[in-house]
């Protein structure tokens, strides 16, 4: 009996595996950006599948703002060790210390935007010619127009008006010395697909993705975790709530949502009923301007 | 849940962005924060309604100029299907985007302004959909509210378009009257269109049969990567990783390996942690063979009695994307399945006018957004099928060796002799 119907997750997974194998075959030095977030966790599972039973044939890299959740860092290090792959940590703190970037001042300052410089420096230092990112086109209007293979010039810049046409499943990875390609293998996945896949494949995530009690404060309409890097302003009240995170990034600008969802299936129910996008709900950095993401991407952001 | 990929095309102002905004909104894919942002921008720009087109115009330049300049991908799902929309701009100079969007689409949705009827762009888009072998075509006659929901207007447009479509290679054609602005017939039946007995647009997209669109006959497996763990546990493991491009592969099947011509048997089809009993499009798997044969990236597994054509001569329809025109005798890098070769343009037979289907045989070049038929010679054999038969083994891209830009896309018509 032939099972003709192919589920959307199978089709998305097969497409992502194909992309990863193309990159492994055609580039000298790929690297996979692994933040410990759910999208990078899914990417990592796809990489495992693409090359099984061999090891993943490229290292992982984390651009570390220094403002981390401990659970995420533990998870990151453990996964890399379990898979036996190298982990490169590119430190934003080091970029600040060396004067490559200047940190914003004030209680609401975030290092999210500084990551671009650290990332580009690390790409250059290690000679990476292709960089897997977990970006999805459903996240943002600018991302919706980005290719799976996204060409970056020698300054790491994205030129949205001059992208290579991308047809069928034929990807053009040709580039010159100093240029590189950002590759987005899960471009066509939505937040819902990611969660359905996590549930189906039992992909482990950092515990902060599920409901837990945490001290938070309300800032700009979001719940920001009280950490060593966040100081409450005089009018901000700290409360302990049952929360989970929908994305994981710099602890100073990643918001939590109130939620009792403790399993992937419970999260799926919440995602299905959600009326606010994941970035809108939980990323202060995208609220600057209508074109915030486009501007950051041009500078070399993920 | 099945996945349906569709491409949309339309002229400036025929309401394509509004239609997509409507589909997303009515299927509850638009979140409150997105809608609030769009309502705010609509007010700022002085519209007296919420301009749903603003939901999809992503890049700053697009918002400034009020047009869409690049292919954008959108996602929505209903309880029956997940949809990926390749939203492509309609202007003349962006034909390349329509070709890009159509290359992966199961269905093309073409919009026609009910007041204007079938125009040059509608014809061009249908020709491109046909050339790219998009199996299903839906013609949405939009802005029915502006023609008082008149059935005669709709009937005139459908008959005119049907006559034109007869010249094309289109197997499934549907017509749906809608008003994207008011939501008539997009996701819900409209009381204004009681004379129309067909499905709403969403219902059509949800229930269209796409099960037989895949080629499950001609077994084709381009090898992407050789899996050799070289670990203690998997000491002798040697598998060929790839994405099935056609047919069904099962353990025990006899396979022919190209280009070596050797024959072996599939011993196992592996996928992460175990093996599967079969693989077909679009599966990505790893195939192991019973015999120790030297196989590498760019090789292809097929069947001894059903193999693609092995050739260095291609006859193809090319769509040109670059400001620097295609030149007769020009040389380019060519990527086909997992093989990269060099190609020389031996002959440019004609340039196709995609508005009239007229063939201009006097031209010596293809300009940006032109389509034309060429003969190519490549530096090493390719394993090809006609594009009509297989979109994966029948397609290739051309790359400028100096700039590395993707300058053209080709659909194989035959093996030019």
Residue B407 included in any domain: yes
Residue B215 included in any domain: no
Residue B216 included in any domain: no
Q: Are residues B60 and B126 in the same domain?
A: yes
Q: Across the interface, which of B63, B96, B272 has its CB nearest the CB of A49?
A: B272
DSSP string, B270-282: E-SSSB-S-B-TT
Whether residue A258 lies within 8 A of chain B, CB to CB, comes out as: no
Whether residue B286 lies within 8 A of chain A, CB to CB, comes out as: yes
Range of weakest confidence among A78-82, A184-188, B267-271, B412-416: B412-416
Domain ranges in chain A with CATH number 3.40.50.620: 8-193+291-298
Q: Are residues B292 and B330 in the same domain?
A: no
- Whether the per-residue pLDDT at B316 is higher than 50: the answer is yes
Q: How many domains does chain B have?
A: 3
Alpha-carbon distance of A251 to B135, in angstroms, equals 48
- Whether the per-residue pLDDT at A183 is higher than 70: the answer is yes
CATH of residue B330's domain is: 2.40.30.10
Q: What is the mean pLDDT of residues A238-254?
A: 87
Yes or no: domain A8-193+291-298 corresponds to CATH 3.40.50.620: yes
Q: Are residues B163 and B203 in the same domain?
A: yes
Alpha-carbon distance of A67 to A180, in angstroms, equals 28
Residue B9 included in any domain: yes
Please choose, from the candidates B81, B410, B326, the residue with its C-alpha nearest in 3D space to the C-alpha of residue A168.
B410
Whether residue B338 lies within 8 A of chain A, CB to CB, comes out as: yes
Q: Are residues B133 and B261 in the same domain?
A: no
Last residue of a domain, one of B302, B326, B342: B302
Q: Which residues of A touch B70 (CB under 8 A)?
A: 145, 160-161, 163
Q: What is the mean pLDDT of residues B233-249?
A: 96
Range of weakest confidence among A231-235, B126-130, B200-204: A231-235
Contact criterion met (CB < 8 Å) for A164 and B74: no
The tokens 């059935």 sit on which residue?
B151
Q: What is the structure's pLDDT at A100?
A: 85
Q: What is the structure's pLDDT at A234?
A: 85
Contact criterion met (CB < 8 Å) for B272 and A48: yes
pTM for the whole structure:
0.92
User: Containing domain of residue B333, as a range?
Assistant: 309-414
Last residue of a domain, one of B302, B320, B346: B302
Last residue of a domain, one of B249, B271, B302: B302
* Mean pLDDT of the residues in chain B: 90
Sign of CA dihedral A219, A224, A225, A228: negative
CATH of residue B183's domain is: 3.40.50.300
- Exposed, middle or buried by CB within 10 Å (0-12, 13-18, 19+), for B323? exposed
Residue B49 included in any domain: yes
- Whether the per-residue pLDDT at A275 is higher than 70: the answer is no
- Whether the per-residue pLDDT at B356 is higher than 70: the answer is yes
Alpha-carbon distance of B80 to A5, in angstroms, equals 13
Which residues are CB-neighbours of B250 under 8 A, at least 6 positions away? B266, B269, B277, B278, B279
Q: In Å, how far are A168, A219, B77 from B211, measured between CA atoms?
A: 19, 50, 18
- Whether the per-residue pLDDT at A297 is higher than 80: the answer is no
């Amino acid at each position: 009996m032939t099972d003709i119907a192919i589920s959307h997750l199978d089709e998305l997974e097969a497409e992502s595996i194909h992309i990863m194998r193309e990159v492994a075959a055609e580039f000298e030095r790929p690297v996979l950006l692994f933040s410990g977030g759910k999208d990078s966790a899914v990417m990592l599972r796809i990489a495992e599948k693409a090359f099984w039973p061999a090891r993943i044939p490229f290292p992982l890299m984390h651009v570390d703002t220094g403002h981390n959740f401990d659970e995420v860092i533990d998870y990151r290090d453990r996964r890399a060790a379990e898979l036996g792959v190298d982990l490169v940590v590119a430190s934003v703190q080091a970029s600040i210390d060396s004067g490559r970037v200047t940190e914003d001042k004030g209680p609401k300052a975030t290092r999210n935007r500084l990551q671009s410089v650290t990332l580009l420096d690390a790409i250059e230092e290690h000679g990476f010619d292709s960089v897997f990112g977990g970006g999805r086109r459903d996240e943002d209007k600018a991302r919706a127009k980005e290719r799976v293979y996204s060409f970056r010039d020698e300054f790491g810049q994205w030129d949205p008006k001059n992208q290579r046409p991308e047809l069928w499943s034929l990807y053009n990875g040709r580039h010159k010395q100093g240029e590189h390609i950002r590759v987005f293998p899960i471009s066509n996945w939505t937040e819902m697909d990611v969660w359905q896949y996590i549930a189906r494949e039992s992909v482990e995530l950092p515990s902060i993705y599920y409901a837990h009690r945490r001290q938070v404060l309300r800032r700009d309409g979001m719940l920001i975790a009280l950490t060593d890097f966040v100081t409450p302003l005089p009018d901000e009240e700290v409360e302990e709530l049952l929360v989970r995170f929908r994305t994981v990034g710099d602890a100073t600008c990643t918001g939590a949502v109130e939620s009792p969802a403790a399993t992937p299936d419970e999260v799926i129910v919440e995602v299905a009923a959600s009326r606010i996008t994941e970035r809108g709900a939980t990323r202060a950095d995208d609220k600057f301007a209508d074109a915030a993401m486009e501007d950051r991407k041009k500078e070399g952001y993920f | 849940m099945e996945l349906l990929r569709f491409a949309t095309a339309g002229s400036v102002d025929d309401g394509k962005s509004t239609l997509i905004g409507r589909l997303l909104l009515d299927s509850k894919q638009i979140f409150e924060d997105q809608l609030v942002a769009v309502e705010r921008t609509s007010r700022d720009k002085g519209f007296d309604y919420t301009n749903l087109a603003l939901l999809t115009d992503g890049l700053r330049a697009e918002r400034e100029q009020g047009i869409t300049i690049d292919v954008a991908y959108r996602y929505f799902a209903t309880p029956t299907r997940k949809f990926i929309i390749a939203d492509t701009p309609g202007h003349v100079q962006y034909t390349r985007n329509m070709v890009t969007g159509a290359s992966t689409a199961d269905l093309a949705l073409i919009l026609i302004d009910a007041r204007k009827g079938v125009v040059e762009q509608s014809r061009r888009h249908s020709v491109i959909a046909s050339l790219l072998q998009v199996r299903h075509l839906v013609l949405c006659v939009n802005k029915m509210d502006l023609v008082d929901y008149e059935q005669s207007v709709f009937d005139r447009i459908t008959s005119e378009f049907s006559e034109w479509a007869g010249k094309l290679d289109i197997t499934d054609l549907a017509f749906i009257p809608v008003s994207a602005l008011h939501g008539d017939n997009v996701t819900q039946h409209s009381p204004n269109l009681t004379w129309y007995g067909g499905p709403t647009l969403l219902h059509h997209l949800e229930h269209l049969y796409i099960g037989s669109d895949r080629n499950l006959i001609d077994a084709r497996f381009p090898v992407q990567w050789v899996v050799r763990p070289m670990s203690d546990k998997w000491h002798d493991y040697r598998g060929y990783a790839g994405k099935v491009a056609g047919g069904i592969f099962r353990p025990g099947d006899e396979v022919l390996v190209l280009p070596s011509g050797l024959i072996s048997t599939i011993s196992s089809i592996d996928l992460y942690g175990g093996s599967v009993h079969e693989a077909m499009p679009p599966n990505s798997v790893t195939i192991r063979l019973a015999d120790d044969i030297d196989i590498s990236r760019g090789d292809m597994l097929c069947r001894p009695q059903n193999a693609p054509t092995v050739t260095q001569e291609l006859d193809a329809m090319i769509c040109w994307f670059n400001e620097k025109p295609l030149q007769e005798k020009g040389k380019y890098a060519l990527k086909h399945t997992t093989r990269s070769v060099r190609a020389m343009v031996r002959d440019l037979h004609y340039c196709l006018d995609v508005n009239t289907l007229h063939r201009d045989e006097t031209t010596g070049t293809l300009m940006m957004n032109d389509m034309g038929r060429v003969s190519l010679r490549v530096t090493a054999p390719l394993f090809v099928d006609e594009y009509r038969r297989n979109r994966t083994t029948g397609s290739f891209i051309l790359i400028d060796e100096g700039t590395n830009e993707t300058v053209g896309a080709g659909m194989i018509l035959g093996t030019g002799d």
